[in-house]
Amino acid sequence: MFLPEVKSKVNEDISILIKLDNYSFNFICECGDASGLTVKECQNTEAIFISHTHIDHFINFDFILRHQIGIGRRIIICGPEGITQQVQSKIKGYQWNLIEENSITYEIREIKKNGQVEIAEINPPHWEIIALENKHPDTLYKNEKFTVDFAILDHKTDSIAYLFKEDDTVKIDISKSEFKGGQWVRELKNAYEEGNESSLIKIEDQDFKAEELFFMLETKKGDSLGVIMDHAAHPANHAKIKSLFQDCNQAFIECFYKAEDKEFAQLNYHSYSEESAKIMKACNVQKAIPVHFSRKYKEEEVKVLLEEFYDHLK
Ligand SMILES: [Zn+2]
Ligand SMILES: [Zn+2]
């Protein structure tokens, strides 16, 4: 299960931290100037996902980098076309003569305009861009718990929307039988996952055909979480959002303007309260969370914006 936390205050730039139950590392979406992000959370991060590099989404990368130096691990950064160069440029703005060589590695997964992912890494002290052997992976990101898919949205520049999809898991209810737990549970789950109905499972010195025991098992559907940042509220973007985020459990969506300011939204290739709500409703997202409001709005205006959003979500 994904446990996201918005790390930015209402009047700060956006940053979302994603944790998972029973998983020790966490994930950062967007590097806006968010005061809630702690040193420990930066250090404990496994991957960073950036929609686009407008300053309000990328300025805090330096702070995160500052705290990650010295952790001696590989950190993955996913982002739009140009991200490799932009990460390198930020880092090269500092002097690195005293750094140890293996204090960190950044692996950058750049999403090209055609949807192909290109992987490179950079290391101290010279931070040169080295293309990796497995240059074009099939999946943008995958670990033992979940995968991340994406859509390239139009914000007058590419803006990547990310879908975090937890793997389905097989659960067992031993109380449906008279057996005690043991090694056989793992073997039975494996047989179930691999579709080996006839493999033999030994429980307390007795052999059973796997399929005779399947009645104790159940597939638990994995959680899903969307992060949909800056995008124009136009049909082409909405079609992409609909195809990726249909029936998603939870999604954060940018809601930069009030309905009254929709001309600004159109001008700046942004979405606004009504349209963000409507597309979340069309996707049948169970829990839609509006984030990333224009900083020109005072508290009262943000309240109006939120009311508009929730009214159109009904
Ligand atoms: Zn933007
Ligand atoms: Zn923005």
What is the tens place of the pLDDT at every residue in 23-74? Answer: 999 999 999 999 999 999 999 999 999 999 999 999 999 999 999 999 999 9
CA 136–ligand 2 middle distance (angstroms) = 28
Ligand sitting nearest the alpha carbon of 159: 1
Same structural domain, 41 and 81: yes
CA 6–ligand 2 middle distance (angstroms) = 15
Same structural domain, 288 and 263: yes
CA 53–ligand 2 middle distance (angstroms) = 9
CA 155–ligand 1 middle distance (angstroms) = 7
| Amino acid, res. 249 | N
Among 220, 312, 253, CA closest to 16: 253
The domain total for the chain is: 3
Residue 119 CA: distances (Å) to CA of 48, 108, 134? 14, 6, 7
CA 56–ligand 2 middle distance (angstroms) = 6
Query: What average pLDDT does this structure show over 296-314?
Result: 96
Per residue in 61-93, pLDDT tens?
999 999 999 999 999 999 999 999 999 999 999
In a domain, 77, yes or no: yes
Ligand sitting nearest the alpha carbon of 32: 2
Same structural domain, 37 and 135: yes
CA 45–ligand 2 middle distance (angstroms) = 22
CA 82–ligand 1 middle distance (angstroms) = 15
Same structural domain, 215 and 237: no
Q: Check residue 133 and give its pLDDT.
A: 76
Query: What average pLDDT does this structure show over 164-178?
Result: 94
CA 113–ligand 2 middle distance (angstroms) = 20
Query: What average pLDDT does this structure show over 265-269?
Result: 97
- pTM of the complete model: 0.93
Which helix H or strand E contains 142, and what residues bound it?
strand 141-142
Contacts of 7 (CB under 8 A, 6+ apart): 15, 16, 17, 34, 35, 36, 37, 41
Same structural domain, 176 and 213: yes
CA 118–ligand 2 middle distance (angstroms) = 24
Same structural domain, 121 and 46: yes
Which of 220, 240, 262 is the C-terminal boundary of a domain?
220
| Amino acid, res. 183 | Q
Pairing mode of beta strands 250-254, 206-209: unpaired
CA 269–ligand 1 middle distance (angstroms) = 8
In a domain, 24, yes or no: yes
Per residue in 98-139, pLDDT tens?
999 899 999 999 999 999 999 999 999 999 999 987 767 789
Ligand sitting nearest the alpha carbon of 158: 1
Query: What average pLDDT does this structure show over 220-236?
Result: 97
302 by DSSP, 3-state: which?
A: helix
CA 32–ligand 1 middle distance (angstroms) = 11
| Residues, beta carbon < 5 Å, ion ligand 2 | 56, 230
- Residue 122's CATH number: 3.60.15.10
Same structural domain, 235 and 307: yes
In a domain, 164, yes or no: no
Which helix H or strand E contains 217, and what residues bound it?
strand 217-220
Plot region of 269 (φ>0 → left; ψ -120 to 50 → alpha; else → beta) = left
In a domain, 13, yes or no: yes
In a domain, 255, yes or no: yes
In a domain, 157, yes or no: no
Same structural domain, 310 and 270: yes
Same structural domain, 180 and 83: no
Ligand sitting nearest the alpha carbon of 254: 2
CA 292–ligand 2 middle distance (angstroms) = 7
Same structural domain, 82 and 206: no
The boundaries of the domain holding residue 243 are: 231-314
In a domain, 275, yes or no: yes
CA 174–ligand 2 middle distance (angstroms) = 50
Same structural domain, 107 and 248: no
CA dihedral 49, 54, 58, 60 (to 10 degrees): -140
Q: Check residue 138 and give its pLDDT.
A: 83
Q: Check residue 73 and give its pLDDT.
A: 96
Ligand sitting nearest the alpha carbon of 154: 1
Among 258, 249, 267, 269, CA closest to 311: 258
Which helix H or strand E contains 46, and what residues bound it?
strand 45-49
Same structural domain, 207 and 67: no
CA 299–ligand 2 middle distance (angstroms) = 18
Which of 152, 187, 207 is the C-terminal boundary of a domain?
152
In a domain, 29, yes or no: yes
CA 266–ligand 2 middle distance (angstroms) = 14
CA 93–ligand 1 middle distance (angstroms) = 23
